[in-house]
Each structure stands twice: as structure tokens, then as C-alpha cells.
Amino acid sequence: MSYQKRRSQKVPVDLKNNMKIEDYFPQVPKEQQNCSSTSQVKVRSRKKPRDITNTQDRGCSFPTKTPEDQTVPLKKTIYVTLNVNHRKNQNMQNVLTYSERASLYEALHTLDAVREEVKTQQGKEMLVCGKERIEGFLNLGMPLSCFPDGSCVEITFSKRVSEQKEDNQVCGRRDWTSTDCVKFYIHAVGKTRKRIVKCGELHKKGNKLCVFGLKGETIKDALCKDGRFLSFLETDCWKLIGKLTSHVESSQEVDAMEGKLYQLEAEKRSSTRVAATATGTQNWELEEHKAYVLQEYIVREYPSLNRERERIRENLKKEMKIRKVNQSSLVKLHRTDFGKQTKNSTPVKTLKLLSQLSDSVGFLRWDNNGSVGCATCFVFTGPFVLTCLHVVHHIVGKGAEQEKWADIIGKCVRVTFTYEEFATKDDNCFLVEPWFEISDVTLDYAVLKLRENGQQVPAGLYNGIAPTPSSGLIYIIGHPEGERKSTDACVVIPQSEREQACARNVRKAMPDSDPEFVHMYTQNSFQKILHNPDVVTYDTTFYWGSSGSPVFDSHGSLVAMHTAGITVAYLGATSHFIEFGSALRPILSDIMEKRKDWYEKECVNQQDVEMLSQED
């Protein structure tokens, strides 16, 4: 029987009437009732048998006593905190002592506070996260034998998305008959394919899932039976990546995995496969009505599109019938702060020059009270580094008052310049001063200041103003996807050819769509880039994590800073239309206007000062 079929089976309706309290708590022989041994516990016969109806409703059934179990199992004690705003004394710990052969789900539901909260939070999923002695978001089907005694866990509740079905609950696997388990951890965000979990609340950088498997079981079986991962794990090829980029195949057994942390790397599905999975029994009349509502909204927002009303309607209907998907997933274009793959032969002389320049490119990472991330920066001059302003926004988080940004940056940011093969330890990193005085939203740049720690700051890359290239080759050095330092050679897209390049890439990504039709949806996103002389446009493979990378011309002169790109989410696949960087010349002009004293002190090229002053 396949795993999918086993997962969808329901517990028989009369289980509640057939199962007795002895099935949960094996009776202690009379001769052992007065035993004081700590390995045995007494059964409290006065307690009313626990109602297991809630367990059946959640799709979770758990192993009962086997005939050979004649002794009461050991108990485990864990501490449970309910993190819900409306509950009085929400941070008060509840002490839970229960049989180690029981599941976490079964044990939690013996607490009155948990049962009451589950009733209050109907329609939501219970998420349990380890806080002390055990880590990560826990599978509710995990036996208590996997928990170190005295573990602390925290319960929150997540909104259940509409596409989650009854057999896709977070309680996960329930097929274990032995407590001889191995637990290991998986990053909630995948490497090549980012979305790997069903619950949107879990899909965040920094989150990790605690997974358990039975000894002798394969890694693939353990993750597929877990219940929290997407179904592509059952059919697609994937593997786990541990420290030092070591790979573990999914066919290996879990026996040696105890306590280890991995990231899942899976092959990306093509748009054809995504379209195939999107088909099914759908109400097309309802979908056409949704398309009509969308069209009416667009026409109201953009009166100039009235003449295109019928054309938009016909195109939407045509695309929906051909693709057999709903309108909400048909076209989603937007600016992405951090695709093309371009390969160019590079002269050895240029490679040597780029190697020297790369010494000044830094890996910037932050941990702001659990909010972690990474980007790229580079030494501009002296102890000052340049990166993107949107990176600073990610660092400080939403809602932070701007006067507090400097302190936040000084506390949580680290920069290393030696991440070329393996990540560098903190003792080899530069801290950042609580200093934030120079930045701009339009040009998306920010200047940060490294804190002296006895290490030699690499040489600054600013060495005078070089012309902004309008064609030819450029080179980007950075840390795409937060990986080791690398270089990408790119072809500059001239300003006069940007619109044609976008249209060409639209046709590649969406071969059955009308580029003009797509362009109407993305007017603002495109116009800001297509006719902006303050950016350099190109095709690159550098996306997330590479914001803030320096851009050099073929002579090794700093000409821009890699900033962002325009992407399209179409039928579940993401394509990249065009990438761009803020040119160095307008950045310097902006610094001159805002902080001329700082520029004249730190940027010693007086000729450039006069040049920028004349331009202003």
C-alpha cells in the first residue's frame, strides 16, 4: 500500500467505544503497586478515561498497547507554554508528565489549558516549537521518548490555508510501533526550490522542522510520512545538504542522522509539470466570473485602458481555457529585490584583476532577534562599505523607528571578506558601528561603517568616477543565495534596447501570451527601469543574497551596485526578465549633495569632486 493511501485512511468510527483506558495506561499488577522504583508509575484509576474524539477528528491515531507490554512505561516531563495574546498569564508554563510511549499530540491534549485553547482556535493549526533541550517545529505525532526530560515547548496557532485538506494536518505520521527513533532537523526553506512545506507560517527563513524516523527507515520515507512537507518529495529527485556542503541522498537510512541539521535541495519543476498539477475538477463558470471582477477593477483603476476592455477579457478567457488555471495564478509580475544564464569567455588578465578586486567584497549577514538574512556589500573607501538600502530595511524589520536603525545595525550585523569556500566564524568577522547617516531610497544605496577590531580592512574599491557602460561586458562579484563568493560575467543591455529585451524574455517565459497584454499589467514596474538613465541593465544569474554586489567594467573600474530585477510568477514558475544596478555616478552625486563634507574627507579624488559639482 502506498504512503498516500495509508495517510488517507480514517480511524474506525467505533474506536472510542471499543478502546478502554487500559489501551492507554497498561494496568500494574497488584504485587507491584507498592513498588517505589522510579522506572514504574502507578495508574490513577479514579481519572475519567480521556475522550479521544478530538484525536480522530484531526486525522491522528496512535499505537495502542501490544500484547507483550505488561509493565507501565517510563514517563517524561515537559514544560508547555501557550503563546496566545488573548489568554491571561499566557507565558505561564504548564508542567506535563506523561508516558514516553505516547505521542506529543496525545500528551498535550491531557492539559485542560490546551484543550480549551484548541476549542477557541477552531479552524487553525496547532504549531509546537521546541525552546529548550529540543529545537525546531515539532511533529505532533512524535513519541515523548524522543524528548529529553525537562524539555520546554511553546504552542502557537496558524491560520489553515484553504488548500490544506483534512489528511494534510500538522500532526503528521502516526504509524510508529516502536519508540526507537532518530530525530533530525530540516530548514523550512529549501535551497533551489524554496517552498517545501505546506504551512505558510512555517515557510520562513530561520525556521527549522524537527523530523523523526524509525531506525532502519530511509530519509525519504521519514520526510514523506512526516505530513508537513509538500507531496513533490514522493515523486521528485531531491537530497539533503549538511555542513561543508556534504550531500546525503534521500535513499539513505536515518540511523546516523541524530541531531543533525540539513537543507533540502530539489530539482525545480518545469512550467509544464506545474500546469499538469494545477488541472483537476474546477468550476470554470466561477473562474470566469472571478476574471470578470478582476477586469472591472483594472478598468476602474486605469481609465486609459477602457479601449482595451474587450481585448483583456478575451485574452484572459483564452489563457484560462488553454492553461486550465485560475486567473489569480495566471500573471503576477513585480519588482524583486533579489534569469538568465550567460556564459562568456574571460581573458586571464581580467580574471587576475577580478581576483584582486574580490578581496574587498563582503558577505553581510544579520540576526535581529531571530530574524536572519544575508546580502553582499563592498568596501567603498576607508572603513565604509556600500550596500542596498532595501537590505537595511530587511535588517531593521518593519515598524522600527528610523532613529533606532543605527543601534539595531550595530548590534546584529556581521561582515566577512573571506567566505570563498566555507563560512567564516564570528571571531573572523567585522562588526558594524551604530552609524547610519548616508542613504537614498530612489537609488537604493546605504553607507555603513565597519568597526575596527585589529584586522586590516580591505582596500576600498572607489578609485575615481568611471563612465557608465552603455554596452559590452560587465562583471558582478557577490554572494548569490548566500553562497560562497563568485563572479558573473554579464552583457549590458543598452537603454534603447531594454524594452525589446523585456518583450523577448516575456515570450520565452510565457510563449502563449501577448507581450503587450502582459505589459499593460506591468506598466509601472517596467517604466521605472526602461527609461531610467541612473541604472545599468543586464542579464545575470545573481539573484537573492547578491543585492549590494559591486559591478565592474572590463577594465576593473567600479561602475554600479547590483540592486534588483523584474520577475514574473507564471503558472507556479518564476522567470527573470531583466536585472539592474544603481550606477555609481548618480550615487556619488547624491552623496555630494547630502554630505559634501563626508565625501571630500573620505573620497580623496578632488577632480571627481569638481566634476560632480559642475554636473550639479
pLDDT (0 to 100) of residue 66: 47
Beta strands in 370-410 (DSSP E): 371-381, 384-387
pLDDT tens digits, 171-206: 556 666 666 789 999 999 998 888 899 888 898 889
Q: Enter the CATH code of domain 12-27+40-166.
A: 3.10.20.90
Beta pairing partners, 565: 336, 579
Per-residue pLDDT at 425: 67
pLDDT of residue 169: 44
- Ranked by mean pLDDT, the top range of 13-17, 369-373, 432-436, 480-484 is 432-436
Q: What is the pLDDT of residue 67?
A: 46
- Total residues belonging to the chain: 616
CATH superfamily of 473-606: Trypsin-like serine proteases (2.40.10.10)
Between CA 316 and CA 322 the distance in angstroms is 10
As a whole number of angstroms, the distance between CA 431 and CA 420 comes to: 19
Pick from 60-69, 135-144, 266-275, 285-294: least confident: 60-69
Q: In which residue ranges of the chain is CATH 3.10.20.90 found?
A: 12-27+40-166
Whether the CB-CB separation of 299 and 311 falls below 8 Å is answered with no
User: Can you tell me the distance from the alpha carbon of 508 to that of 497, in angstroms, rounded to the nearest whole number?
Assistant: 17
Read off the pLDDT of each residue in 281-288 and give the average, rounded to a whole number.
Answer: 51
Give residue-wise pLDDT tens across range 433-469: 999 999 999 999 999 999 977 788 999 999 888 888 8
Distance separating alpha carbons of residues 105 and 62, to the nearest angstrom: 9
Q: Would you place residue 32 in the very low, low, confident or very high pLDDT band (cuts 50, 70, 90)?
A: very low
Q: Would the pLDDT of 397 be above 80?
A: yes
For domain 360-449, the question of CATH label 1.10.10.10 is answered with: no
d(CA 248, CA 184): 13
> What is the reported pLDDT for 50?
43
The helix (H) or strand (E) run that includes residue 64 is none
Burial bucket for residue 480 (CB in 10 Å: 0-12, 13-18, 19+): buried
Cα separation, 180 vs 42, whole angstroms = 24
Residues designated catalytic: 390, 444, 547
pTM of the prediction?
A: 0.47
| pLDDT surpassing 90 at residue 549 | yes
Residues of the chain with CATH 2.40.10.10: 360-449, 473-606
**What is the rounded CA–CA span in Å between residue 141 and residue 225?**
10
CB-count burial class (<10 Å; 0-12, 13-18, 19+) for 237: exposed
- Per-residue confidence at 388, pLDDT binned at 50, 70, 90? very high
Q: What is the pLDDT of residue 571?
A: 58
For residue 25, the surrounding DSSP H or E stretch is none
Question: Which cell numbers in the block locate residue 220?
Answer: 525519504
Contact, 292 vs 300, CB < 8 A?
no
Q: How far is CA 582 from CA 130, 164, 556, in A?
A: 43, 42, 17
Q: What is the mean pLDDT of residues 487-494?
A: 89
The 8 Å CB, 24+ separation contacts for 189-195 are 189/263, 190/263, 190/264, 190/265, 190/266, 191/241, 191/263, 191/264, 191/265, 191/266, 191/481, 192/265, 192/266, 192/267, 192/268, 193/232, 193/264, 193/265, 193/266, 193/267, 193/268, 193/269, 195/230
Write out the DSSP string of 433-486: -S----EETTTTEEEEEBPP-SSPPPPPS--S--PPPSSSEEEEEE-GGG-S-E
In this structure, are strands 181-187 and 261-266 parallel, antiparallel, or unpaired? parallel
At the topology level, CATH places domain 180-268 in Ubiquitin-like (UB roll) (3.10.20)
R_g over Cα of the chain:
29
Residues 340 and 581: their CA atoms lie apart, in Å, by: 16
107: its cell numbers:
500528551
